[in-house]
Amino acid sequence: MSALTPASEVMLRHSDEFIERRVLFAGDLQDTLPAQFEAADVRVHTQQYHHWQLLNRTMGEKAQFGLTVDPTFIAGCDTLVYYWPKSKQEAQFQLCNLLSLLPVGAEIFVVGENRSGVRSAEQTVEGHVALAKIDSARRCGLYHGRVDAQTEFALADWWESYQLHDLEVQTLPGVFSRDGLDVGSSLLLSTLEKHMKGKVLDVGCGAGVMASVIAKLSPKVKLTLSDVSAAAVESSRATLAANGIEGEVIVSNVYSDITGRFDMIVSNPPFHDGLATSLTAAETLIRGAVKHLPVGGQLRIVANAFLPYPDLLDATFGSHEVLAQNGRFKVYQATVGRPARTPKKK
């Protein structure tokens, strides 16, 4: 059993109220509470593949991963427990989808850390659910209400796009770089050479911006993109299609569903899982890279300068180099087969 988040600890304070309910957990759930939750029926929907992996081990088909909820999966549920994410737009998207499928009269519980912006939950579902705060503990808020009216949900209404030079970027709520190219990714892209060849893997692809720029610089590369987020995977596929770029987009928790070797792996790895700081994904990315790179293959990542990646790169690859940096970010490169640097004798 994994440690419970503060939000789940708040939910446990009310667990006796759910014994006879048919409960759907959704949103930014990051622990295994549903697997041990006592109710008539418990199901989980998540857009995060690594969260699904954690729950699928014990819940099987009662844990669902995907961009939107399958209506047959939610049929029969009379209670929703929604974990508020750090992105309000993501919450609006997910709740609109969920409230379009739940019957009028279904009970809704929204829980989240105060710093996540959960206080805006009442306004988000206004007109469909009248939420009221029923508990406050562990720096979290818990809200309760009943569905007064179903929402109307159409996926097409949630797509947005923007131009980046000659690229059209397609994005969905909650996707990294949704509103424009971030500074870190821009710095990494500035280090790329033109006319590269071979196979390139973009880990944590977001909206597919980095891979698309690589394709424009080097049309002969063979692209593979991966992300844990269902919204990111769909956004990357849409971005590639909008620009006539070929590439395979895979749902994967870092390397969990990746096979084969690549000439280069690029990434702007996250160092948060929800609101919590987590270096797990980046550490897995670095340590596992050597299994997916040939001799001479390169890992190139961008990261906040304060993060402790240089020592990890040296321990894994023997050495690393800094290709670019500014006040906040550094672009690191490590190459398989390069011997560790040794100081010259005087």
- The predicted-structure confidence for 10-42, as pLDDT tens digits, reads as follows 999 999 999 999 999 999 999 999 999 999 999
| Non-local CB neighbours of 254 within 8 Å, separated by 6+ positions | 203, 226, 281, 284, 285, 288
How many CB atoms lie under 10 A from the CB of residue 45? 24
So what's the pLDDT on residue 272? Answer: 44
Q: What is the CATH number of the domain that holds 45?
A: 3.40.50.150
pLDDT at 291 over 80: yes
| 92 plus 149 within the same structural domain | yes
Residue 293 and residue 328 in one domain: yes
Residue-wise pLDDT tens digits, 305-315: 888 899 999 99
Answer yes or no: do 168 and 299 share one domain: yes
**Residue for token pair 């929402």:** 151
Do 40 and 102 share a domain, yes or no? yes
Instruction: Give the 3-state secondary structure of the chain.
Output: CCCCCHHHHHHHCCHHHHCCCEEEEEECCCCCHHHHCCCCEEEEEECEHHHHHHHHHHHHHHEEECCCCCHHHHCCCCEEEEECCCCHHHHHHHHHHHHCCCCCCCEEEEEEEHHHCHHHHHHHCCCCECCEEEEEECCEEEEEEEECCCCCCCHHHHCEEEEECCEEEEECCCCCCCCCCCHHHHHHHCCCCCCCCCEEEEECCCCCHHHHHHHHHCCCCEEEEEECEHHHHHHHHHHHHHCCCCCEEEECCCCCCCCCCCCEEEECCCCEECCEECCHHHHHHHHHHHHHCCCCCEEEEEEECCCCHHHHHHHHHCCCEEEEECCCEEEEEEECCCCCCCCCCC
Residue 324 falls within a domain, yes or no?
A: yes
Buried b (16+ CB within 10 A) or exposed e, 23-37: bbbbbbbbbbbbbeb
The residue segments making up the domain with residue 116 are 6-155
pLDDT digits (tens, 9 = 90+) for 142-181: 999 999 999 999 999 999 999 998 999 999 999 987 777 8
Domain stops at, among 155, 182, 203: 155
Tokens for 167, please give them. 């690229």
**Using one digit for the tens of pLDDT, what is the confidence trace for 206-248?**
999 999 999 999 999 999 999 999 999 999 999 999 999 999 9
Place of tokens 């280090």: 191
Task: Fill in the amino acid letter for 28.
Answer: D
Residue that terminates a domain, selected from 134, 155, 176: 155
Q: Assess whether 109 and 188 both reside in one domain.
A: no
Per-residue model confidence (pLDDT) at position 222: 98
Hunting for tokens 């970010």 — which residue is that? 329
Q: Please tell me whether residues 178 and 292 are part of one structural domain.
A: yes
Domains held by the chain: number: 2
Of 120, 155, 190, the position where a domain reaches its end is 155
- pTM of structure: 0.92
The whole-number pLDDT of residue 273 equals: 53
pLDDT at 109 exceeding the cut of 80: yes
